A and B are shown apart, each in its own frame.
Chain A
Amino acid sequence: MNSLPNIRAIARRELTVRLRTRAFRFGTLVLLAGVLAIAFAPLIVRAIEGSTTERIAVVDASGLAADPVATLDAILAPPGGDPDTAILVTAVPTLDAGLGGERDGTYVGVLTIRRAASGELEFRLYTDERPANRIPQLIAQAAATLTAQDRLVRLGVGPAAQASLFAGTDFSVEGTDPERASAPASVVEEGAQVMLGFGLTILIFMMILLYGNWVAMSVVEEKSSRVMEVILNAATPFQLLSGKVLGVGGAAAVQYAAILLVGGIALAVQDPVSSLVLGQSASTLALPEGLTIGVLLMFVIYGVLGFLLYAVLYAAAGSLVSRQEDVNSVVQPLTLLASVGYIVAVYTSIGLIDVGGAPLTILSLFPFTSPFMVLSRTLEGTIAPWEVGLSLAILVVSIVGALWVAARIYAAGVLLYGQRPSVRTVWQVVRTGS
């Protein structure tokens, strides 16, 4: 019997019914709202706050030859720097005058500079900010620079000599691993890539968990309504299983496509919207660095294959119970497996755990973890092409194997009512097919 028409009919039904449910529409709307909120969050925050440039007041009682206000200003708001992160420095005559400005919100803090009895400069920052926050940290750095300059002056080092002393350092990190094709050039770039890997891995993880559960729920719905028995007269368990996974996968694709589309449009229109709302371009907002077509393609491939592998097993698990309430407990092992793969992948990619060479390779090849591992390692540039190729091959073979196992569990499980089969029963079913 030709399987394709039945698989197509089952998948089409699953897809159309799924797209029509309130849960799907509502869920998609919520996700879209989330995407828009994230995409426009910087813009919204800026529109609400107006200018985000912070100011501090400086009370200078140091008697320094070079004006410390100008020096601080040069350090905290360097010319050509990002206006969002700059801190503007204003001189005020007294601490009280500065504190008045701090209270009415003009300044985030007041910095006093004076020379202590020891001859060293003494800095005091009066502010509500916590010591560990960005502004106190930046001012502490600026204060350290001022102190160093002051000490050098007192040691007799002139401004010209100081300029050469403080000139930039020639430093770079060179990789030692020849397979590491694209070592990130800078800290910023590395950070962006880790974040991107992190984000894409979360998306794959969510896709597997959310849509895998849909598959299991849908199987149980058919089972509890006895639709399954009617359909199994016309279609094989394999057809039913494949059609269902493809149908739910189609619904998932619709949802993800909508999110990507809206997210992409949001990013694209950010500049015009920004200049419309704020009168300035949103130059600092851009696609995450490293998000290339190749990376997107890998995301789609591993997302789809990972979903397929987990989804067929979710379907098999769902076929073992007959009530919606029991779905959670029966899919738990799968959820756990996905969670472990996801957590290990994320922790290794941000360097929280270092599993080292061989285990890392194994995790990248093991089909239940590879959808999470390979993407972040690709972005880090720490994976060899053969590992990617082999992991894909293993994943595809595993999906075929999982389909075979799942169809057997499914065929036996769909007719079990009111009893929760033991692990032994399931194993026997897989082995003997009855």
Chain B
Amino acid sequence: MTLEVHGLRKRFGDVQALDGVEFAVKPGEVFGFLGSNGAGKTTTMRIILGLLRADEGEVTWRGTPASAWPCGTWGYMPEERGLYPRMPVLEQLLFYASLYGIGRARARRDAEEWLRRFRIGEYADRTADSLSKGNQQKVQFIATVLHDPDVLIMDEPFTGLDPVNAALLRAAFLEMRDRGKTLVFSTHQLDTAEALCETVAIIDHGRVVTGGSTREVRRSTGHQVVRVATAEDGDGTWLSSLPHVTVTRPGEDYTELRVDAGSDPQAVLRAAIATGHEVLRFEVADPSLEEVFVEQVGAVQVDEERTLAAAGGVR
């Protein structure tokens, strides 16, 4: 009873865009799709929605092929834009809703309610291109949910939003989840994904590198993160002498360390006590998604792919 994506493969000319993408999202879950530009997120979403045909593999929702479900099951928010530039906001929301057979009165009531909620009620009669990018994105989100779909597929919904708008959108996400909707979205903002998603998948070069519940993924590397601070003012040389430990973030208040898989973080605490100074802080945590992502995909590559995408490569 899930949204299941099985072994998707898709080739554009010489580029193998998807090379066996596989993941599952339970109904009522928020799923984060993480990957660099060009990793295959948009292509996967388009295949889920039936906009593209996969060369191989299949997508099912509640056990039935995704294409067999009525179009109203799905709500799609493409990356950037997705609105008629020179059409008034409310009017195009009503137009979109009418394509799903939503009555005008209901669509108008819901659209106005959402616009108010997103604090853009006064822009209802303005053309989309007169709105700021963040406001356009909120309108786009309304267009995605207005026909009350079961599954929301959103491509980079948080890109370009200021913190206030991002918080409004996050709240809307959680509300949709509480209403039993399934949310799938791609993002570069790993802290957002960490805060919102029950499950995530990291995709790279058309393959899911790591996937599962957010907690599992954070633990997938086997590393642990230790934050430690002692009363000693020194340079922390005692840390670098510890085996299986790497300083990842030296800082004023505390030092962040990575403890290799299989090693005991408590060894750090023992070493800290052994320095003879007072231990002010000691904390063991899972690595953040960002750390996992960087380790799995590599930071350098992110820039590389961006250049490729900007040059007009296939996504």
Please give the residue numbers on chain A whose beta carbons come within 8 Å of chain B beta carbons, in ascending order. 1, 5-6, 9-10, 13, 17, 21, 221-222, 225-227, 229-235, 415, 417-419, 434
Contacts and interface: CB of A to CB of B under 8 A. Distances in A.
Interface stretch (B79-87, B118-126, B249-257): B79-87
Contacts of B77: 230
B81 A234 contact: no
Given A221-B85, A225-B82, A233-B76, A415 B52 contact: yes
Given A17-B87, A434-B53, A226 B95 contact: no
Nearest to B153: A233
A321 to B, nearest CB: 13
Contact of B95 (A9, A221, A232): A9
B74 A233 contact: yes
Given A17-B87, A415-B52, A227 B82 contact: yes
Interface stretch (B96-104, B211-219, B267-275, B295-303): B96-104
B99 A234 contact: yes
Residue of B49, B51, B144 contacting most chain A CB atoms (<10 Å): B51
Contacts of A229: 46, 49, 51, 76, 78, 82
B57 to A, nearest CB: 15
Q: Is the interface of B mostly helix, strand, loop or mixed?
A: loop
Interface of B: 46, 49-53, 70-72, 74-87, 95-96, 98-101, 143-144, 147, 312-315
11 contacts: A9-B95, A9-B98, A17-B87, A225-B81, A225-B82, A226-B82, A229-B46, A229-B82, A230-B143, A233-B49, A235-B71
Contact of B83 (A17, A225, A235): A225
Contacts of A6: 99
A1 B312 CA distance: 36
A227 B79 CA distance: 11
Given A226-B81, A231-B96, 17 more contacts: A1-B70, A17-B84, A17-B86, A221-B84, A225-B84, A226-B80, A227-B82, A229-B82, A230-B76, A231-B99, A233-B51, A233-B75, A234-B71, A235-B99, A415-B51, A415-B52, A434-B53
Given A229-B76, A230-B78, A419 B314 contact: yes
Q: Is the interface of A mostly helix, strand, loop or mixed?
A: helix
A371 to B, nearest CB: 31
Contacts of B75: 233
Contacts of B315: 417
A226 B79 contact: yes
A243 to B, nearest CB: 10
A200 to B, nearest CB: 34
A13 B147 CA distance: 18
B143 to A, nearest CB: 7
A193 B197 CA distance: 74
A232 B84 contact: no
Contacts of A235: 71, 99
